[in-house]
Amino acid sequence: MAKQRRPEHLSQEKISAAQDNTLKVVMVSQLVSGVGLPTTILSGSLLSTELFGAESAPGIPAALSLLGAGVVAYLLGLLAKARGRRLSLGLGYALGGLGAMLVLIAAKFASTPLLFIGLIVYGSGFAASLHSRYAGSDLAHPTNRGKAIRVAFFASTIGAVAAPSLSKLIAEPTQSLELPSYAGPFILSALAYLFAAIIVLLLMRPDPYVLAQNLARFTGAKRSSATSQLFDRKLALFGGTTMFAVMFVLSGVMAVTPSHMAEAGMHPEAVQILISLHIAAMYLTSLVTGRWVDTFGAQKIAFAAASVSLISCIIIFFTPGDSVYLLLIALTLLGVGWNFGLISGSASTLAANNLGKNPQLQAKGDAALTFGGAVAGLLAGWLVTVTGYSAVMLVFLIIAACHLLFILFVARKGIGAQA
């Protein structure tokens, strides 16, 4: 019987060209959308104070955005499985832009209910940003999963770090529209997310997930046994827990730390610089993290993530709120720990579900970690009003320590070593 001929669109040359195009589109869209990432961190305290009328809700804006990101992340996974990455990513970014515009309208008319809705919808942009790392890995070779994820994360660095400076350029339009000064970053975010949506919808052709599915059907790629499926579930749990833990710690700490630094007398520009460097550490570290995951394995990098996050929490716990240099070290380490955890956890998730060809499982992981971030932000905001900042940091220090113990436990069981 004659060997089945590989269709032209599934030739190795076509697959390689499609992967190159996907990575380029992901990089450009992430570079643009990265501008919207720090907006809720930089504007959250002002939102709470000005529209909530109190300083008792510092974690609410970020928590609402993460809550929306969790819901949309799950829906994007379902849509990607049914229609592909191009539509799911484009819709996610477009909704993020719509959310930013709703926040602007809420700020214009001082409408708290509309602000809540806008922040929730705004989280769609972050959900799409997370989702894009899997789009880059659909056609990637198993040994290059970390590289594919690295491209998506690194591209976000430029936009995220440039956001505070770019926000100054739209100060005049903000005033001319008679909007509060804190609304400026949301104008920038609306433009960035809508532009990212256009880039993805127009240029991500062919769709990497659809092409990967066609290739899998042609090659007859299937899981081999019930044993491998059981191992996959354990590996997915390891990856999901790793991402959840680093997101929980970072969200809780950053929900209250910027306002704590301001209350301690740190200059507003110094606060902005520290936050920008923190965000740079979150994404710039991807230059090496992806390579290290491919070289040393996800388990070792997850251990490093838990260790670095714990060290960061310890430094913050013992550091005064106006100590610029110590907080610079601590917040940089916090961003590095998040990066290590998210990339190693993502690589484990990819390894757990047939080289990443199950967007629904990926979406559950992203939904879990963003929901966790929302809970952490609300918890930190409530605790800081009841017990004070030091007690909040002690709580998240303990959580970071528990995460490290979890990594040591699963290492003894051999889970995650193969990712």
Give the lowest-confidence range in 74-78, 248-252, 407-411: 407-411
Q: What pLDDT, on a 0 to 100 scale, did the predictor assign at position 227? A: 40
**155 has pLDDT over 70:** yes
| Helices and strands (H, E) in the chain, number of each type | 16, 0
Domain ranges of the chain: 10-413
- Helix, strand and coil content of the chain, in percent to the nearest 5, comes to 85, 0, 15
Predicted confidence band of residue 223 (pLDDT cuts 50, 70, 90) = very low
Residue 336 corresponds to which tokens in the numbers above? 């590095």
Encode pLDDT of 178-204 as tens digits.
777 667 778 888 989 999 999 999 999
What average pLDDT does the segment 212-228 reach? 60
Helices 145-169 and 184-203 cross at an angle (nearest 10°) of 140
What is d(CA 272, CA 172) in angstroms, rounded to the nearest whole number?
20
CA 363 from chain centre, in angstroms, equals 12
Give the lowest-confidence range in 122-136, 148-162, 281-295, 395-409: 148-162
Q: What pLDDT, on a 0 to 100 scale, did the predictor assign at position 359? A: 74
Q: Please list, in sequence order, all residues whose beta carbon lies within 8 angstroms of the beta carbon of residue 256, skipping any fewer than 6 positions away.
A: 58, 59, 380, 381, 384, 389, 392
**315 has pLDDT over 70:** yes
Burial class of 283 by CB neighbour count within 10 A (0 to 12, 13 to 18, 19+): buried
Q: What pLDDT, on a 0 to 100 scale, did the predictor assign at position 339? A: 92
CA 21 from chain centre, in angstroms, equals 22
Residue with tokens 């505070």: 164
- pTM comes to 0.82
Q: Are 223 and 229 in contact (CB under 8 A)?
A: yes
More confident residue, 31 or 40: 31
Choices 3.40.50.2000, 2.40.50.140, 1.20.1250.20, 3.10.110.10: CATH for 10-413: 1.20.1250.20
Q: Is the peptide bond preceding residue 206 cis, with omega within 30 degrees of 0?
A: yes
More confident residue, 72 or 225: 72
What is d(CA 146, CA 345) in angstroms, rounded to the nearest whole number?
10
Torsion of CA 301, 35, 132, 122, to 10 degrees: 110
Q: Please list, in sequence order, all residues whose beta carbon lies within 8 angstroms of the beta carbon of residue 323, skipping any fewer than 6 positions away.
A: none
**47 has pLDDT over 70:** no
Encode pLDDT of 388-416 as tens digits.
899 999 999 999 999 999 998 887 776 65
More confident residue, 112 or 329: 329
Show the CA angle centred on residue 146, arms to residues 249 and 83, nearest 5°.
90
Predicted confidence band of residue 109 (pLDDT cuts 50, 70, 90) = confident
Residue with tokens 């240029």: 203
Q: What pLDDT, on a 0 to 100 scale, did the predictor assign at position 225? A: 42
Per cent of the chain over pLDDT 70 is 79
Q: What pLDDT, on a 0 to 100 scale, did the predictor assign at position 418? A: 55
Predicted confidence band of residue 51 (pLDDT cuts 50, 70, 90) = low
